[in-house]
Amino acid sequence: MITFSVTHKAHSCNARVGVLHTAHGVIDTPAFMPVGSLGTVKGIECQELQECGFGLMLTNAYHVYLRPGHRLIEDQGGLHRFTGWSGAILTDSGGFQLVSLAEFCQVTDQGVIFKSHLDGSRHELTPELCVEIQIALGSDIMMALDECPPHPCSSGQAQQAVRRTTQWARRCLLASQASGQALFGIVQGALDVDLRRQAARELGEMGFDGYALGGLSLGEDKATMFELVEAVVAEVPENRPRYLMGVGLPEDLFEGVVRGVDLFDCVIPSRHGRTGWLFTSTGRVLIKNAQYARDEGPIDPLCGCPVCHRYSRAYLRHLFVSNEMLGSRLNTLHNLWYYGHLMADLRSAIRENRFLEFRAQFHEQRKECPRYIEYAAMMGVSDDQPGGLLSRGKGKGA
C-alpha cells in the first residue's frame, strides 16, 4: 500500500507539496511520471530515468497484457524485476487505449469486449480482470477500469460513462482488497462540470488511495480543462493524491499545480524528443531548423543535463536530419532531465512560499516564444488584462 501526506501548502493558491511513500521508494509531489507504456521509456535506461530525478514511472496494463502478457511478467517476478526499474510503478488500466487503439470495441455494463490492435485477437476486459492483471504485474499503484467517452460526446454518453465508471470502480475495489497494492479511482464526466463534481463525490465516498482526473486533454480548450480540474479538486478528499492523467506541457504542469494537482503523466517529453522538439528555460527549440546547422552552443545554456554539457545544437541537428537513433535518444534524455528538474524547482518554490512568483517568472521568460503566445490564447487570457495568465490563480479557487 501507499501513504500520502501534505507537508507544505502555498499561502495564496492551492499548490502543495506532499510525500508519497510506496514499497519502492518515496516520491515527493508534485511529481511527473514519464510514460513507459511497454515497460520502457523509449530509448532510455532505468538508471538514466533516476538520474533525471524520477522515482515513479507509468506503464500501461493494456499494452503489457497484450504483449508479452501479464502471466509471463508475473512468472518473471513482476514488472520491477522484469524491467530492471527499482522505483515505483503506476499502471494505467487501459480504458483510454481500449477506445483509441482497439480495432473493435464494445462497452457493456459487464466490461469491454475488444479486438487487439496487434493481431485482432478477441478479449473481454472486466473490472475484475483489470485488477487481476495489475496484481500480477506487481505495480505500486493500480488504476480502476474506467470508460473514457469520446470527445466531443453527448450528454447521454457522458452520463453513461460516469455511471459505468462508478459501477466498475466499486467492483475494482472489491477485487483489489487482498492485493496490498494501492488503487486509484478515475473521475470522468466529459466537459460537464456538474457531472464531474458528482462523479468525484461518489468516488470520494468509496475511500480510494488516490483520485485521477481522466478524459481530459482530448481536444477541449485549456481554460475549460482547468475549470474542470478546479471543480474536481474541490470535491475529492484533501488527504489523498490527485492525479491529472495525460497532461502535459510545462505550462500545463504549472496550471495544474496551482490548482492543487499532485501527479502528472504524459508522453510529451519523450515523443517530442523523437520529433526534435526540445524544452528549454526560454521556450522550445525545434532542432531540425536550419538556424542551428552551425550553432555550437548547447540546447539550453542553463541546463545541467549530460546532453547540454557534451553536445552542440549543430551536432544534434545533424543527428536528427540524418535520422540517427542517437539523436532521438539524446533529445529524449534532455527533455526528461528538463521535466524532472522543473518539478524539483516547483516543489522548492512551494516550500519557500514563492510559487506564484516562480510561475510568473516562468511565463515571463516565454513571452516571446510562439508556443507561449498560442498557449495564452488557448487559455482565453492575456497578460495585459486583469486576471491575465501571469496573475491567474491567486485566489482561493485557483
Q: What is the pLDDT of residues 253-264, one digit of tens each?
A: 999 999 999 999
pLDDT greater than 50 at residue 369: yes
On whether both 268 and 280 belong to a single domain, the answer is: no
Task: Given the residues 192, 209, 262, 265, select the one marked as catalytic.
Answer: 265
In a domain, 383, yes or no: no
Cα–Cα distance, 91 to 27 (Å, whole number): 16
Band (386; pLDDT cuts 50, 70, 90)? very low
On whether both 260 and 280 belong to a single domain, the answer is: no
Cα–Cα distance, 39 to 83 (Å, whole number): 6
Give the pLDDT score at 187.
98
- Mean pLDDT for 82-94 is 96
Cα–Cα distance, 54 to 47 (Å, whole number): 10
Cα–Cα distance, 16 to 349 (Å, whole number): 10
On whether both 170 and 287 belong to a single domain, the answer is: no
In a domain, 155, yes or no: yes
On whether both 89 and 215 belong to a single domain, the answer is: yes
On whether both 161 and 62 belong to a single domain, the answer is: yes
In a domain, 378, yes or no: no
Cell of 342: 522543473
On whether both 280 and 266 belong to a single domain, the answer is: no
Nearest CA to 348 out of 135, 53, 57, 2 is that of 53
Relative orientation angle of helices 325-351 and 355-364, to the nearest 10 degrees: 140
CA distances 232 to 50, 57, 212, 242, 252, Å, are 31, 24, 9, 9, 16
pLDDT per residue as tens digits for the range 145-166: 999 998 999 999 999 999 999 9
Q: What is the extent of the structural domain holding 140?
A: 3-272
On whether both 18 and 167 belong to a single domain, the answer is: yes
For this structure, is 92 an active site residue? yes
CATH classification at residue 190: 3.20.20.105
Give the pLDDT score at 94.
82
For this structure, is 209 an active site residue? no
In a domain, 382, yes or no: no
On whether both 60 and 80 belong to a single domain, the answer is: yes
pLDDT greater than 60 at residue 275: yes
Band (390; pLDDT cuts 50, 70, 90)? very low
pLDDT per residue as tens digits for the range 48-74: 999 999 999 999 999 999 999 999 999
Give the pLDDT score at 117.
85
Domain boundary among 223, 238, 272: 272
pLDDT greater than 90 at residue 391: no
Band (183; pLDDT cuts 50, 70, 90)? very high
Give the pLDDT score at 261.
98
On whether both 336 and 324 belong to a single domain, the answer is: yes
Q: What share of the chain is helix, strand, coil (3-state, %, to 5)?
A: 40, 20, 40
Specify whether the CB–CB gap between 344 and 290 falls below 8 A.
no
In a domain, 171, yes or no: yes
Cα–Cα distance, 336 to 256 (Å, whole number): 19
Distance of alpha carbon 392 from the chain centroid:
23
On whether both 143 and 176 belong to a single domain, the answer is: yes
Give the pLDDT score at 286.
97
Distance of alpha carbon 79 from the chain centroid:
19
In a domain, 390, yes or no: no
Nearest CA to 280 out of 324, 322, 331, 329 is that of 331
The number of folded domains in the chain is: 2
CA distances 136 to 39, 69, 81, Å, are 14, 10, 12
On whether both 101 and 183 belong to a single domain, the answer is: yes
On whether both 242 and 298 belong to a single domain, the answer is: no
Task: Given the residues 75, 92, 109, 252, select the one marked as catalytic.
Answer: 92
Burial grade of 8 (CB within 10 A; 0-12, 13-18, 19 or more): middle
How large a percentage of the chain has pLDDT more than 70? 92
